[in-house]
Amino acid sequence: MSLPPETRRLIGCGTGCCTALMVLLIGLLVAIGVIAGDTTASPEQTRPGIELSEAPTGEPSTATPASEAPSASPTPSATATAQPTTPAASSAAPTPAAKPSTAQTPSAAPAQKGTPAPADGTALATLRTLEVKGRAPETGYDRDDYQWRQDTDHNGCDTRNDVLRRDLQAVILKRGTRGCVVAAGQFTDLYSGKVITFDEPSDADIDHIVALQNAHVTGAFRFGSAKRMELANDPLNLIAVDASLNRQKGSADAATWLPPNTAFRCEYVARQISVKKKYGLWVTPPERDAMERILTSCPDQKTYSSASLAWPGRGEGDVIGEGERPKPVSGSDSTTSEPKKKQPASSPKPAAPKKEQKQGVVGDSQKKPGSGREPSGGSVRFKNCREAWDAGAAPLRRGDPGYESKHDGDGDGVACEKRPR
């Protein structure tokens, strides 16, 4: 079937017009797509710039654009425009990028300033050089093995009186002892901070700063006899103190006992550290922690040496004279001995020889000083050392009231050195 020419011409025009319209429409859509691509690319250019300014914090600057880029169909064009923006953003924001790094530096500095290394020669620095471990067993410990009170410096005086001459003021030396025995004086008890009048042996104890038992279980068990004796009689490790506080301390270390006088604690701990350093003794973890806790309040506290704490020579010190012990306020061996010394003169003379014959050994020791019974104790007698300690007279030295050789087991001239248990 053939169509008329007019109809064929109209159809051909419509087809051409439709084709033209379709091409125009496609071109319009393409143009719209390009415009849309440009508008979506511009926010992406800004985002990388923001992320780059935070790049110094360690977060990747391209993570956000990469994840959001697929939302726009022309990904290559968007990426191409964002990458050139990166240098511009980084160059435009150098100051914000530098600020985080400068803020981190001061935050680390205070931590270093808060824990500075202790200065050389301080007790805190020395403490950190000591070995730290647990206590050894007390097996084999015997205080007598340390030979406390021996005349290790060979000045003719026992260690106790050497310390008393060093630590006491207004000292009165006992006559006939060649400047050794302290008869009276006073001292400031550094453990309590109190001033104590000394006129009886029981008025003061000599304390080992590092107790001998503590020293034994922190390394001294390895020492030979000579080194043990050196430790027990070292002026660095000795101090005159109130007797009751010395007994309260016992063999405790710094973790379990400190002087009630807080003003002395820094020096006390520093002297313990000095002793342990000198003799190669260790500290336990709790002991180390307690010492460090004390020394944080006095970081400049220095250590001590034996020479800095040496005692004066025989007859030296703050001596104001010689004489006998003054009468104490309460009754003791000196108050009871005075009236009894007069009794031999009024009592029958045969009574004294009978007592000497019954205790011939005592009589021999009494005759050695050269003046009968009086130099060895007069009429004051103690059945045993416990009685002497209970009376506040022990320890007894040759020539003191109540001294008898039967109580002086080692024959060193000092009887009842240890309180019986």
Distances (CA, A) of 420 to 90, 203, 249, 390: 87, 18, 18, 10
Judged against a pLDDT cut of 90, whether residue 242 lies above it is answered with: yes
Query: What rounded mean pLDDT belongs to the chain?
Result: 73
- Comparing CA positions, the residue from 280, 162, 270, 179 lying closest to residue 231 is 280
| Exposed/middle/buried for residue 232 (C-beta within 10 Å: 0-12, 13-18, 19+) | buried
Judged against a pLDDT cut of 80, whether residue 197 lies above it is answered with: yes
Residue 117: per-residue pLDDT: 85
Judged against a pLDDT cut of 50, whether residue 149 lies above it is answered with: yes
| 367-411: pLDDT as tens digits | 333 333 333 344 577 888 888 777 767 887 776 777 888 888 767
Q: Is the pTM of this model over 0.95?
A: no
| Element (DSSP H or E) covering residue 22 | helix 5-53
Contacts for 310 with CB less than 8 Å, ≥ 6 apart: 166, 235
Task: Give the Cα separation of 35 and 251 in Å (integer).
Answer: 92
| 269-317: pLDDT as tens digits | 999 999 999 999 999 999 999 999 999 999 999 999 999 999 999 999 9
Tell me the percentage of the chain whose pLDDT exceeds 70. 61
Residue 415: per-residue pLDDT: 84
Taken as a whole, the chain contains a residue count of: 421
Q: Helical H runs in 146-264?
A: 159-167, 212-217, 225-232, 243-249
Is the pLDDT higher at 193 or at 329? 193
Judged against a pLDDT cut of 90, whether residue 246 lies above it is answered with: yes
**Do 303 and 270 form a contact (C-beta atoms < 8 A)?**
yes
**Do 180 and 317 form a contact (C-beta atoms < 8 A)?**
no
**Which pair of structure tokens corresponds to residue 75?**
């990904």
**Do 375 and 366 form a contact (C-beta atoms < 8 A)?**
yes
| Banded pLDDT at 265 (limits 50, 70, 90) | very high
Task: Give the Cα separation of 172 and 175 in Å (integer).
Answer: 9
What phi and psi, each to the nearest 5 degrees, are found at residue 112?
-75, -40
Task: Give the Cα separation of 194 and 401 in Å (integer).
Answer: 29
Annotate 299-332 with b (16+ C-beta within 10 A) or e (fewer).
Answer: eebbbbeeeebebeebbebebeeeebbeebeeeb
**Do 201 and 394 form a contact (C-beta atoms < 8 A)?**
yes
- Comparing CA positions, the residue from 374, 393, 373, 375 lying closest to residue 385 is 393
**Do 403 and 174 form a contact (C-beta atoms < 8 A)?**
no
Is the pLDDT higher at 356 or at 228? 228
- Integer-rounded Cα radius of gyration of the chain: 47
| 95-127: pLDDT as tens digits | 444 343 333 333 333 333 556 788 888 999 999
**Which pair of structure tokens corresponds to residue 177?**
């002892």
Residue 394: per-residue pLDDT: 80
Judged against a pLDDT cut of 50, whether residue 261 lies above it is answered with: yes
| Element (DSSP H or E) covering residue 169 | strand 169-174
Task: Give the Cα separation of 141 and 334 in Å (integer).
Answer: 36
Query: Would you say the C-alpha torsion 309, 304, 199, 419 has a positive or negative sign?
Result: negative
**Do 75 and 107 form a contact (C-beta atoms < 8 A)?**
no
| Banded pLDDT at 416 (limits 50, 70, 90) | confident
- Classified as helix, coil or strand, 61 is coil
Q: Helical H runs in 54-137?
A: 63-68, 75-92, 94-114, 123-127
Per DSSP, the chain holds a count of helices (H) and strands (E) of: 16, 8
Residue 405: per-residue pLDDT: 81
Q: What is the mean pLDDT of residues 224-248?
A: 96
The residue assigned the tokens 């015997």 is 142
Q: DSSP string spanning 274-315?
A: HHHHHHT--B-HHHHHHHHHHHTT-TT-B---TGGGPPP-TT
The residue assigned the tokens 């901070």 is 193
Distances (CA, A) of 255 to 123, 190, 240, 268: 16, 19, 22, 13
